[in-house]
Chains A and B, each alone.
Chain A
Amino acid sequence: MPRIASLTLQDTDTARPIIEAITEDNPGATVHSFPGIVKIDREGSLTVRRESVESRIGRVWDPQELHLSIVSMAGNVDEDDDYFSVAWTN
């Protein structure tokens, strides 16, 4: 069975550049839209990169700001200064 790592974000103006950054940085990611939310799936892992979001919003962005937009996720979390990722490891 494929091991789908997943991030679900609110469909808001704040989340949109993050969603864009994720889809561009994670080849093969698929995006599903539901009312109010966007669910991004990818086999194995998904990473949100700080730089990538910053280049879209033109200001400093702390990966912890993801807490403001996230709705759900699947995978083991790793959070640091420069990225936030969910992954299935084995």
Chain B
Amino acid sequence: MNAVAKLGLKQRYSLLTRGLDWEPSYQSKSAIYPYAEFEGIKIHDWSKWEDPFRLTMDAYWKFQAEKERKLYAVLDSFAQNNGQMGLTDARYVNAVKLFLTGVSPLEYQAHRGFAHVGRHIPGVGPRVAAQMQSLDELRHVQTQIHTLSHYNKFFDGLHEFPHMHDRVWYLSVPKSFFDDARTAGPFEYFIAIGFAFEYVLTNLLFVPFMSGAAYNGDLATVTFGFSAQSDESRHMTLGIEVIKFLLEQDPDNLPIVQKWVDKWFWRGHRVLGLVAMMMDYMLPKKIMSWREAWEIYFTEAGGSLFQDLSRYGLRVPKYADVATAEADHISHQNWAVFYQYTHAAGFHTWLPSAEEMDWLSEKYPTTFDKYYRPRFEMWGEMAKEGKRFYNNALPQLCTTCQIPMAYTEPGDPTTISFRHSHYKGDTYHFCSDGCKDIFDNEPEKYSQSWLPVHQIFQGNCGGASVEEVLKWYRLNLGADNLDQAGSPDQAQWDAWMEARRRVAG
């Protein structure tokens, strides 16, 4: 018994996993995998699938258990030591609020979505990988809730995150993004989340933003962030393997995949505008600008990737040039929207300080001073005169990305970009060519969009006044919304800092 050959990792994994599937004969394959064909993707030989990672379930448990032990030790210690008091500034917490209400529910959606493809993709290799990703994504939502649960005890705006995610106007941006992916077929879902989101875009959220969390003293968030990223590297690799596999299997898959890559790149770019704003405006101590992060993680890493994929005929996503140009504008335009609508948001806003504006000028030499500084300075003057600027009109939303129509024309930062399409007698409005294209390709899907402003006007959101709508969101008025200055969060923070000075003194 001792003279047996030692098995290498690849061979062992293959024996324990790849052989599990069988050709059914009592039920048809199409009954067992009913969603494998309607998208038009052609797969001839699933055995050609290359497993990027080869974790058997026991190895998965072992590594994931170790990660969790480490993570929860940090969370316990953060809570016991009131780690929130080590933050650079109370303003930072607003980024965390946006994270729990806007991002964590997406992790949940990813979990259920990967269960769907982990059941329905008819190839054993990608199916097992998708199931592990489903488990990982459940991990991410649960560890995020556990981490941010401590913040919820001390700060406003986090206490109704699932309720808010299903209703609040700006949260319909990330929610509709994931609803879109999850209602797509299994292959499109894989490309949307596994490739466009995980590979091309998630790095931007989880690497520079989390490094920023570390820089701002949030030891809990950075720990779950980097711990989650250790799973993401598996997910990114899975995404890239899926795309290569589809392109290798049949040349007819190329136009379908290209359309998905174009669509999901643009969808992801729009959602990530929220992260752009978190990095440039919401981190009290800055680590790198959105522009710089975009260069490292999209231009450089994405560039190498698309060069690699060009051998299959796949090109860089449509409008990547527009998105790269927008990196000079998007964080400023988004922050301006939230500043104007801060009375209707579940987190606080503020105007950047003189120092912060100088940092923005330095990081955005061609745009900040010319287009955005004057606006913020004017709003600052108005606030000083007791006329803090609020926009009380409900904004028009883009039907596709659901962001208020505040983005500007490519190459013309002083003109708002409007596009529209007609479908079945109605007119639909868009913020960009990217969003209009997406609608025009699937009008029957996007004409169903649950647009928060339309829903308010139709009387489906608790009432006609802003106050009634905010109550329907379960926001505590005067606590969860409005300016950081004068908020209960800020008052409490000031009291802590004052008390700490006394104790120290």
Q: Give A contacts to B, CB under 8 Å.
A: 1, 3-6, 8, 10, 34-37, 64-65, 67-77, 79-81, 88-90
Take A67-B63, A90-B308 as given contacts and tell me if A74 and B301 are in contact as well, using a CB distance cutoff of 8 Å.
Answer: yes
Among B203, B222, B237, B240, the residue within 8 A (CB) of A36 is B222
* Cα–Cα, bound, A6→B199 (Å): 13
Q: Contact at A37–B207, with CB atoms within 8 Å?
A: yes
| Assembled-state Cα–Cα distance A64/B61 (Å) | 13
Does B311 lie at the interface of the complex (its beta carbon under 8 Å from any beta carbon of A)? yes
Report the minimal beta-carbon distance from A64 to chain B, rounded to whole angstroms. Answer: 6
Chain A residue nearest to B55 (CB atoms) is A64
A77 touches B237 (CB 8 A): yes
CB distance B63 to A35 under 8 Å? no
Which A residues are CB-close (under 8 A) to B10? 80
Beta-carbon contact of B55 and A68 below 8 Å: no
Cβ contact within 8 Å between B8 and A71: no
Chain A residues with CB under 8 Å of B233's CB are 67, 70-73
Shortest CB-to-CB span from B362 to chain A, Å, is 19
Tell me whether A81 and B9 are in contact in the complex, defined as CB-CB below 8 angstroms, given that A67-B63, A72-B233, A73-B236 are known contacts: yes
Closest 4 CB pairs of A and B: A36-B214, A35-B214, A35-B215, A74-B301
Q: List 29 A-B contacts (CB under 8 A).
A: A1-B307, A3-B304, A3-B308, A4-B301, A10-B226, A35-B211, A35-B214, A36-B222, A37-B207, A37-B211, A64-B55, A67-B55, A68-B230, A69-B230, A70-B230, A71-B206, A71-B233, A72-B207, A72-B229, A72-B232, A75-B304, A77-B52, A79-B54, A80-B8, A81-B9, A88-B304, A88-B307, A89-B308, A90-B311
CB of B234 within 8 A of chain A? yes
Minimum CB–CB distance from A87 to chain B (whole Å) comes to 10
Residues 37 to 83 of chain B near chain A (Cβ within 8 Å): 52-55, 59, 63, 66-67
B221 to chain A, nearest CB (A): 11
In Å, the complex CA distance between A3 and B230 comes to 23
CB pair A4–B229 under 8 Å, yes or no, is: no
Q: A64-B55, A76-B240, A90-B311 are in contact. Are A34 and B211 (CB under 8 A)?
A: yes
| Shortest beta-carbon distance from B225 to chain A in Å | 9
- Residues of A within 8 Å of B462, CB to CB, are none
The answer for the CA separation of A88 and B232 in the assembled complex, in Å, is 19
Interface residue? B287 (CB, 8 A): yes
Q: Is B85 an interface residue (CB 8 A)?
A: no
Q: Are A74 and B305 in contact (CB under 8 A)?
A: yes
**What residues on A are CB-neighbors of B288 within 8 Å?**
34
- Tell me if B210 is interfacial: C-beta within 8 Å of chain A: yes
B206 touches A64 (CB 8 A): no
Task: Give the contacts of B222-254 with A (CB-CB under 8 A).
Answer: 222, 226, 229-230, 232-234, 236-237, 240
Asked if B230 and A4 sit within 8 Å, CB to CB, the answer is: no
- Chain A CB within 8 A of B300 CB: yes
Whether a CB of chain A sits under 8 angstroms from the CB of B303 is yes
Least CB separation from B237: chain A residue:
A77
